[in-house]
A and B are shown apart, each in its own frame.
Chain A
Amino acid sequence: MKVNRRAFLNGAAATAAGLAASGGFSASARADAPIKVASIHDLSGGLDIYGKPMVDALTFAVEEANAAGGLLGRKIELLSYDPQSNMQLYTQFATQAALKDKVAVVHGGITSASREVIRPVLDRFKTLYFYNTQYEGGVCDRDQFDTGVTPAQTVEKLVPYAMKKWGKKVYVIAADYNYGQITSQWVKKYVQENGGEVVAIDFFPLDVTNFGPTISKIQAAKPDFVSSALVGGAHISFYRQWAAAGMRTRIPMASTTFAVGNEHIVLSPEECNGMLVCYNYFQGLKNKTNEAFVAKFHKRFGADYPNITELAMGTYQGFWLWASAVKKAKSVDRMKVIEALETGISIDAPSGKVTIDPPTHHCILDVHIAEVKDKNLVVLENFPQQKPSDTAAVCNLIKNPTDNQQYVIKI
């Protein structure tokens, strides 16, 4: 074939028109393409006791949204990454979610350590981030929303309740990383404010399984009760050894972490009955939204599903807060969704009303104190609409929108 200048130009113009047309075509296809939502939760390794229920709850929420026609007329696609309880993989998957898969939002992170690993990555690549775990408080970052409860919402209620019931002398045991270190300081603060005394604070690396010497030390100190912030599978053996030494009936216990990993099902009733806990959600909460939710959840995952945990509900509520903001903003654009969330958006969730607190990006929600009784959590007292006052004392993202750090609150 002979190519002269005219034929070439004609051909080029046709190609260009074709490109433009196909470009236009793919743009219109993009408007129908599914909205991608990333989940980064440990589904294997030592933290899977927490991660599995969270991913189940997120899967459930996405299916629920899709059954109702999706968001903005588009389906939602859940991309689930398993970082295998390994911090390095958290960085890798957060980068992949932001740059390669270009997700609209990331829900993820379980331990505070993992949150601090992915938060800077998602900040840098401007991807909206929801952290749905109860934690020690103080994160102040406009790109991030925290839907879990913090010490001013739970410890502030639990400590006086336990002190009134049992006495003023407290022995604190906690896991040895940022969560346990900071939470134990909150326990100490509230014990002292209520006129009590913390006799000792002991920290445990996450793989300790022999608690014999500590149990003797606690007996020697004779506290009125023990406050526990132990984390992970290995630490469950503390409660076992404590009960085997006949201490459960002698010195009672309150915890800021117990039952979050279904410890009350793994242990026998003789090993943990009577323990006090305080969270936003319990499966047995008596309200219509919750009863309908539990019935639907059991239909999807089986009636023998062990227990819908605090963290699972945090993740479910986190998704719906985001989804309501997307509806309000009529867009999945990061800044527009943040602004919609900052109007103080609110949902009617199974745990009660959950509202975003605009200055802190934390939540205003109900909390409940419950007691472990024969593998169930029996709710004893309700505290409606608690504000995240710990983080609010240091963080105001309306005044300082560029603030980006975790405040360690001085106690």
Chain B
Amino acid sequence: MDLAVVLAIQVLYAIASLALISLGLAIVFGMMRVINLAHGEFLMLGGYAAIVGTHLGFGLWVSMLVLAPAAVGLIGVVVERTIIRFLYGRMIDTMLATWGLSLFLIGLTTFVFGNTTVGISAPFGALAIGRYRTSAYTLFVIAVATAVLGGVYVVLRHTRLGLIARGTMQNANMAAALGVNPPRVYAVTFGVGAALSGLAGGVLAPVSGVFPTIGVAYIAKAFITVIGGGAAIVTGTVSAASLFGTINQLATFATTPVFGEVALLGAAIVLIRLLPQGITGRFFRRGL
């Protein structure tokens, strides 16, 4: 029984962390069709922002929940204005440009911080469940993921800002004819996507640590989740993260971590073969 509760928490945590690392990418890819290969580095920069903020004395919470998204969001806007905006509709060129950006950011971070960066430990301490113990911070990550997903849903569904964003992505010319400034919407959307990546990087920093190449560990899973989820941003991310997170954790627990990773990748291949448009291409089609 204790074990079942611990396992349930871990499955929820896997889903939450997958959703967190994918959401920023889902917004940028799902709404703007930009394949951002520097997404992993945005997460990495979020982690560094949290660590630097904490070491500068801003406090863990402010650094993680405010500084990290603000800093990376700002970087996102700069990147959109200087690189991405010239490449809309040229998917291959964007991939090349963002891949270059990813290498540049890794190099720059190594140059500035070196490769021995003192991390931050997870707050809250441990949580005992019967004979088992797990980190209480796990529950915090689940809560943050839920709040962020809920927030994005509400903004997109119920605010004027969300309506304009969705309208511009669907038909930029029509939106422009109705008095919207599409380049501004693009810049803001890209910035929001980057800020959410920064938040995810900051929140996960105490769990996974921060070093210049950590993005590599995230990016493949983020892409698999976004592609598996399909066109709808929130529903797609949640459904794909739930599917892959559950499979990954249960397979890891039942067998070994190697098979856990294999099961996740295997599930992704089968899913894309059966549902080339992702989960929301077939189910929850009216989702968002």
Q: In the bound complex, do residue B257 and residue A203 qualify as a contact, i.e. CB atoms below 8 Å apart?
A: yes
Q: In the bound complex, do residue B110 and residue A176 qualify as a contact, i.e. CB atoms below 8 Å apart?
A: no
Point out the residues of chain B lying under 8 angstroms from A212, CB to CB: 10, 13-14, 134, 138, 249
Q: In the bound complex, do residue B122 and residue A240 qualify as a contact, i.e. CB atoms below 8 Å apart?
A: yes
Determine whether A245 belongs to the interface, using a CB cutoff of 8 Å to chain B. yes
Q: How long is the Cα–Cα vector from A278 to B100 in the complex, in angstroms?
A: 41
Interface residues of A in 196-220 (CB under 8 A from B): 202-205, 207-217, 219-220
Q: In the bound complex, do residue B208 and residue A240 qualify as a contact, i.e. CB atoms below 8 Å apart?
A: yes
Known: A203-B258, A219-B131. A209 touches B208 (CB 8 A): yes
Return the contact of B135 from the options A202, A217, A241 (Cβ within 8 A): A241
Point out the residues of chain A lying under 8 angstroms from B179, CB to CB: none
Q: In the bound complex, do residue B132 and residue A219 qualify as a contact, i.e. CB atoms below 8 Å apart?
A: yes
Known: A237-B208, A267-B119. A245 touches B253 (CB 8 A): no
Point out the residues of chain B lying under 8 angstroms from A209, CB to CB: 207-208, 214, 217-218
Closest A residue by C-beta to B220? A207
In the assembled complex, the CB of B125 is this many whole angstroms from the nearest CB of chain A, namely 6
Return the contact of B256 from the options A49, A202, A240 (Cβ within 8 A): A202
Give the interface of B toward A (CB within 8 A). 3, 6-7, 10, 13-14, 17, 106-107, 110, 115-122, 125-126, 128, 131-135, 137-138, 206-209, 211-214, 216-218, 220, 249, 252-253, 256-258, 260-261
Q: How long is the Cα–Cα vector from A273 to B147 in the complex, in angstroms?
A: 35
Q: In the bound complex, do residue A45 and residue B257 qualify as a contact, i.e. CB atoms below 8 Å apart?
A: no
Q: In the bound complex, do residue B116 and residue A202 qualify as a contact, i.e. CB atoms below 8 Å apart?
A: no
Point out the residues of chain A lying under 8 angstroms from B121, CB to CB: 240, 243-244, 267-268, 270-271
Q: In the bound complex, do residue B253 and residue A203 qualify as a contact, i.e. CB atoms below 8 Å apart?
A: no
Q: In the bound complex, do residue A244 and residue B217 qualify as a contact, i.e. CB atoms below 8 Å apart?
A: no
In the assembled complex, the CB of B224 is this many whole angstroms from the nearest CB of chain A, namely 13
Q: How long is the Cα–Cα vector from A233 to B216 in the complex, in angstroms?
A: 11
Q: How long is the Cα–Cα vector from A267 to B121 in the complex, in angstroms?
A: 8
Return the contact of B133 from the options A210, A219, A234, A262 (Cβ within 8 A): A219
Q: In the bound complex, do residue A204 and residue B258 qualify as a contact, i.e. CB atoms below 8 Å apart?
A: yes
Determine whether A366 belongs to the interface, using a CB cutoff of 8 Å to chain B. no
Q: How long is the Cα–Cα vector from A205 to B260 in the complex, in angstroms?
A: 10
Given contacts A46-B213, A216-B134, A244-B122, 11 further A-B contacts (CB under 8 A): A46-B216, A204-B257, A204-B258, A205-B257, A211-B257, A213-B249, A240-B206, A240-B207, A244-B206, A267-B121, A268-B118
Determine whether A250 belongs to the interface, using a CB cutoff of 8 Å to chain B. yes
Point out the residues of chain B lying under 8 angstroms from A11, CB to CB: none
Q: Interface size of A by Cβ–Cβ distance < 8 Å?
A: 44
In the assembled complex, the CB of B11 is this many whole angstroms from the nearest CB of chain A, namely 9
Known: A210-B14, A240-B209. A44 touches B110 (CB 8 A): yes
Q: How long is the Cα–Cα vector from A371 to B132 in the complex, in angstroms?
A: 27
Point out the residues of chain B lying under 8 angstroms from A306, CB to CB: 116
Determine whether A48 belongs to the interface, using a CB cutoff of 8 Å to chain B. yes
Known: A45-B213, A49-B211. A266 touches B118 (CB 8 A): yes
Q: How long is the Cα–Cα vector from A219 to B2 in the complex, in angstroms?
A: 12
Interface residues of A in 212-251 (CB under 8 A from B): 212-217, 219-220, 233-234, 236-237, 240-241, 243-247, 250
Q: In the bound complex, do residue B116 and residue A266 qualify as a contact, i.e. CB atoms below 8 Å apart?
A: yes
Q: How long is the Cα–Cα vector from A398 to B216 in the complex, in angstroms?
A: 46
Known: A266-B118, A306-B116. A234 touches B10 (CB 8 A): no
Point out the residues of chain A lying under 8 angstroms from B125, CB to CB: 244, 246
Q: In the bound complex, do residue A233 and residue B211 qualify as a contact, i.e. CB atoms below 8 Å apart?
A: yes
Q: How long is the Cα–Cα vector from A205 to B252 in the complex, in angstroms?
A: 12
Point out the residues of chain A lying under 8 angstroms from B211, CB to CB: 49, 233, 236, 266
Known: A241-B207, A245-B126. A44 touches B253 (CB 8 A): no
Return the contact of A233 from the options B118, B135, B209, B260 (Cβ within 8 A): B209
Q: In the bound complex, do residue A265 and residue B133 qualify as a contact, i.e. CB atoms below 8 Å apart?
A: no
